[in-house]
């Protein structure tokens, strides 16, 4: 299986901040599809694997990676921040060549928007799945009880229970504070490319209205939102994966024909 192949590594950062980021790529025709995963997920997840199979079947270029502290990459998860993971994502996008299609899931949607800001020219397009833009400040912090906020501020961390991980997710003060320096929803969001958003209406983590807020902020971009009435956060059912690959194919082919 493709997912069992040994990953390649790229060193991002210097000195004590250096970390080896694991990635896998499929050679093929462009534009390169780049997978940007979610918080505490890795590049062997269902959607990332589905895109790998899609790319191989269609002879398309594809690149996926793990943020530091995730999957096969080096680093401590608790040292992670939005800025740190965005720096790693930008380095990976640079490997993909000009005008890639960015496919961002959950936190990867926020990271995609931050990376696009840094690119010399716009991406070929974006496909965002339950995009969790500004999630640390817009979705997490307001929902935390006062005692949890006090614990994070006093001790620097709190372990949040999760339906996706028995051990829960450590939420650090550094993550929250750094998130505030990377907010995108306070004004106009401009990507310079077409954007397709796939959002489940039964998503307990990223409410569908949050995706609609992002779409409203993209007032100058070509944005299409697909609301999936019975869809959850993962959107990993066969029909969800079909929607994902169709959106990516449409985006890539539109760019090739332009």
Active-site amino acid positions: 106, 203, 233
Packing angle, helices 46-58 and 238-257, rounded to 10:
50
Q: What are phi and psi of 62, to 5 degrees?
A: -150, 140
> Which residues, in sequence order, are CB contacts of 209 under 8 Å at separation 6+?
none
* CA atoms of 244 and 239, how far apart (whole Å): 9
* CA atoms of 222 and 169, how far apart (whole Å): 35
* CA atoms of 210 and 174, how far apart (whole Å): 24
Helix (H, G, I), strand (E, B) or coil at 190: coil
Give which of 158, 139, 136, 137 is closest to 147, Cα–Cα. 158
Helices (H), ranges, the chain? 46-58, 82-95, 107-118, 135, 146-155, 173-180, 208-217, 238-257
Contact between 12 and 2 under an 8 Å Cβ cutoff? The reply is no
Contact between 77 and 25 under an 8 Å Cβ cutoff? The reply is no
Q: How far apart are the first and last CA of the chain?
A: 34
């Amino acid at each position: 299986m493709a997912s069992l192949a040994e990953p390649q590594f790229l060193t991002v950062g210097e000195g004590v901040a250096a970390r080896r980021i694991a990635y896998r790529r499929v050679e093929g025709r462009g534009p390169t599809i780049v997978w940007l995963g979610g918080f505490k997920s890795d590049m062997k997840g269902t959607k990332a694997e589905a895109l790998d199979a899609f790319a191989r079947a269609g002879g398309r270029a594809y690149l996926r990676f793990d943020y530091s502290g995730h999957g096969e990459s080096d680093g401590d998860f608790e040292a992670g921040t939005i800025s740190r993971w965005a720096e790693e994502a930008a380095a990976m996008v640079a490997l993909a060549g000009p005008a890639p299609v960015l496919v961002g899931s959950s936190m990867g949607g926020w990271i995609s928007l931050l990376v696009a800001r840094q690119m010399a020219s716009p991406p070929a397009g974006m496909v965002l799945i339950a995009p969790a833009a500004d999630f640390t400040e817009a979705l997490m912090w307001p929902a935390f009880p006062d005692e949890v906020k006090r614990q994070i501020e006093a001790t620097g961390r709190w372990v949040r229970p999760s339906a996706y991980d028995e051990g829960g997710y450590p939420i650090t003060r550094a993550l929250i504070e750094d998130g505030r320096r990377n907010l995108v929803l306070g004004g106009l969001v401009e990507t310079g490319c077409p954007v397709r958003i796939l959002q489940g209406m039964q998503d307990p983590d990223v409410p569908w209205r949050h995706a609609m807020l992002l779409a409203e902020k993209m007032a100058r971009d070509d944005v299409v939102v697909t609301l999936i009435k019975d869809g959850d956060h993962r959107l990993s059912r066969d029909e969800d994966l079909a929607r994902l690959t169709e959106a990516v194919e449409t985006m890539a082919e539109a760019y090739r024909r332009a």
